[in-house]
Amino acid sequence: MSSINEFKANLLGAGPRANRFRVYIPRTGSAIEFLCKTAALPGQTIAETPVNFRGMIVKLAGDRTFTNWEVAIYN
């Protein structure tokens, strides 16, 4: 019967790491794939667009603006 130490010794690279993530960005032709340590989803802001409707100003959703995407990439 195998022990935990023997099992861990047979894993390539000591098994999966909790601080390494694979990023896959599909594109036409070829995909971009890389490893990263940290990543955060970008925030978004939706601007208001005032519209005159029957004498009243109605605020509707306008342009959507995204903040920068922050990621720490491994070489």
Per-residue pLDDT of 12-59, as tens digits, reads: 665 666 677 888 889 888 888 888 888 888 899 999 999 999 999 999
- The answer, yes or no, to whether residue 1 has pLDDT greater than 70, is no
Which residues sit opposite 51 in a β-bridge?
Answer: 58
Enter the tokens of residue 36: 């990263």
Q: What is the pLDDT of residue 66?
A: 93
- The answer, yes or no, to whether residue 67 has pLDDT greater than 70, is yes
- The answer, yes or no, to whether residue 2 has pLDDT greater than 70, is no
Q: What is the pLDDT of residue 72?
A: 87
Q: In what order do the strands lie in the sheet with 32-40?
A: 21-25, 32-40, 70-73
User: Are the CB atoms for 27 and 33 separated by under 8 Å?
Assistant: no
Contacts of 58 (CB under 8 A, 6+ apart): 50, 51, 52
